[in-house]
Amino acid sequence: MSDVPAVAQQRIASARTRTIGTWALGGVAVFALVAIAMQFLRTDLDFVRATLSFYLLGPLGLWLQLAYVGLAMSLALIGAGYYGAAGRERRSAAALCLFLVGAIGVAVTAWAETDRGGPAAMTMAAKIHAISAPLAFLGTTLGMLWQSWAFRRDPRWRQQFALAFGLAVFCFVALWLHALWRDLPRGLSQKVVIAAIAVWLMLAAHWLRRTPSSGQY
């Protein structure tokens, strides 16, 4: 009988984790749908050359800004979800902090208008955007790597380690190729990186949604 409260608490915690996963998946899915829709709605932008930052500008940009906020929420939820669900010796505070850095970076990037180019000096908003965008990418991809590595220590997600870590490595390498290989088409290469990151985040959120109770592993 003494074990009943503990079992009930574990079930409540697992249910909470699954709810977090559902909300996180929803945020990433909305972001992906809006970002894809923008490629068709913004006929004034070149899909191959224009990075996603330019889709934040203009009358339709508000929808993508709101989708960015949803993505930021999902990053924070994924970090917090895995941190809270894992045991004390299995959780990764580093992954949580990196996801929070990514979330803050994404949110700031959404509202700090990017540099439009031209002879005029960069505005303060453009300077902030130029800092927050790389931080968003770095925080997110490093968080993905760290969290994937932490999967090895938890029997609930150990079987997901190979896929999660392999995809995280791909995203990290692709990000640096995009940053350093300037001959790549800037818009297309960035969108490939973002798409791969979104796939990882959807998988991570889906695995949270399927978190079993402690007695089931």
Q: Give residue 203's pLDDT.
A: 98
Which residue carries 């929070």 as its tokens?
A: 100
Q: Which segments of 73-217 are extended strands (E)?
A: none
CA atoms within a 13 Å half-sphere pointing along the CA-CB vector of 96: 12
Query: Residues in the chain, how many?
Result: 217
Separation between Cα atoms, residue 131 and residue 204, nearest integer Å: 26
Q: Give residue 121's pLDDT.
A: 65
Separation between Cα atoms, residue 201 and residue 191, nearest integer Å: 15
Give the CATH number of domain 3-216. Answer: 1.20.1070
Q: pLDDT tens string for the chain (217 positions)? A: 445 466 666 777 778 889 999 999 999 999 999 999 999 999 999 999 999 999 999 889 999 999 999 999 999 999 999 998 887 777 889 999 999 999 999 999 999 998 777 656 689 999 999 999 999 999 999 999 999 999 998 888 999 999 999 999 999 999 999 999 999 999 999 999 999 999 999 999 999 998 876 545 4
**Can you say whether residue 181 is alpha, beta or left, with left for phi > 0 and alpha for psi between -120 and 50 degrees?**
beta
Vertex 204: Cα angle to 189 and 50 (nearest 5) = 20
Q: Give residue 120's pLDDT.
A: 63
- Output the CA–CA distances (angstroms, integers) from residue 126 to 54, 132, 182, in the order listed: 12, 10, 20
Q: Give residue 217's pLDDT.
A: 47
Alpha helices (H) along 48-185: 52-55, 61-85, 93-111, 124-150, 161-180
3-state helix/strand/coil string of 125-136: HHHHHHHHHHHH
Q: Give residue 86's pLDDT.
A: 81
Q: pTM score, two decimals?
A: 0.92
Question: Taking the chain, what is the end-to-end CA distance rounded to the nearest angstrom?
Answer: 21
